[in-house]
Structure 1
Amino acid sequence: MREEHLDWVSACEVELHTFPWTSGNFLDSMAAGHGSWVMSAGTDKLGYAVMLRVLDEAHVLTISIAREAQGRGHGRAFLAWLHDEARKQGATQCFLEVRPSNTAALALYQDMAYEQIGRRRGYYPGLNGREDAIVMRREL
């Protein structure tokens, strides 16, 4: 991911998420050295992700597939690619958090061998208060 991608990434965020990351959030992640990628096929941008690495852990901070590219296996392929990148950098496990209401993502993570290891009460902002985060982990 580069700064010139941020207009597209931000537009996707607003379309996909009720409480989107801002361009500033992505810039801060890139400045902090977090892995930040845009998935593409030719000239078509399909998705984006940010991953933090700490010691032998990888933390997927965000991963999204553009609405028009969803339902074609891109999320699964991108997440598998992130796992490979994390392994190359010495990670032995990967963590992420997901809203219980994001049933499609939750099903994908479970299908890709993520296990629930915890729950953060009231972690995410919601339309009617706060929503929990399901904390998940996968061995790499």
Structure 2
Amino acid sequence: MTHLVNLQQHRIRSASINDLEAIVSLDMDSNPHPWGENLIKDALATRQNWVIESCDEQGSINISAWLTASMLFEQSELELIVVDRFFRRQGLARKLMTHWFDAIKRQNMGREQPVSECLLEVRESNLGAITLYKSLGFELMGRRKNYYQSEQGNEAALLFNLTISYQGERP
């Protein structure tokens, strides 16, 4: 995967099935527990998806981050967010999360039953993600003991939620 020269040269856009190969590559290279092609293909067909495209030093466009979220009635759930491992801790995940919240706000305007809650779960060992989610206002709501398999055995899934107002504003 090519490195970016300038993270200011990026944009968020909706992902499509045309991005499948690039997202699978990102998932395999940067996700310690990759979803694989079939799950990604299903996500692109059935969920809301956004990518961050970035420009490398040769002017090539690369996908450096991907977020997929489901929406059902008054809940939207973050299914997966993955950022190129070379560009973590540079704000890309925060940008995608904020974009997700903004999309909910726009969609709520025309809905009889607006989204009022965002959900996610995260491995208890993923301290960087937990810090990000808390900084965005998510609150720990529960724990599923031994939910995920890891190389060290099993680890818990931490369940977080964020209540949003009727208009879709973040608190």
Q: Normalising to structure 1: TM-score of the pair? A: 0.90
Superposed CA deviations along residues 64-105 of structure 1, whole A, max 9, x for unmatched, are: 111222222111111011111122223121110111111111
Structure 2 residue 40 is matched with structure 1 residue 29 = no
**What's the Cα RMSD here?**
1.6
* Bigger radius of gyration among the two: 2
Structure 2 residue 82 is matched with structure 1 residue 64 = yes
User: Where does 1:8-47 land on structure 2 (aligned, <5 Å)?
Assistant: 8-31=22-45, 33-41=46-54, 43-47=61-65
2:142–2:160 contact (8 Å) kept in structure 1: yes
Quote the Cα distance in structure 2 between the aligned partners of 1:6 and 1:87. Answer: 27
Give the match for residue 119 of structure 1: 143
Quote the Cα distance in structure 1 between the aligned partners of 2:131 and 2:139. Answer: 11
Gaps of 5+ in 2: 1-14, 56-60, 109-114, 165-171
Superposed CA deviations along residues 28-84 of structure 1, whole A, max 9, x for unmatched, are: 1223x2112212245332200110001111100001111222222111111011111
What SS class does the counterpart of residue 89 from structure 1 fall into? helix
Give the match for residue 48 of structure 1: 66
Q: Normalising to structure 2: TM-score of the pair? A: 0.75
1:19–1:125 contact (8 Å) kept in structure 2: no
Aligned pairs, number: 139
Structure 2 residue 158 is matched with structure 1 residue 134 = yes
Structure 2 residue 115 is matched with structure 1 residue 95 = no
State the 1:108 CA deviation: 0.5
Quote the Cα distance in structure 1 between the aligned partners of 2:155 and 2:26. Answer: 22
Superposed CA deviations along residues 10-36 of structure 1, whole A, max 9, x for unmatched, are: 2222222232101100111223x2112
Q: Which amino acid aligns with 1:62?
A: L
Quote the Cα distance in structure 2 between the aligned partners of 1:130 and 1:87. Answer: 37
In terms of fraction of residues, the more helix-rich structure is: 1
Identity %: 23
Quote the Cα distance in structure 2 between the aligned partners of 1:4 and 1:69. Answer: 23
Gaps of 5+ in 1: none
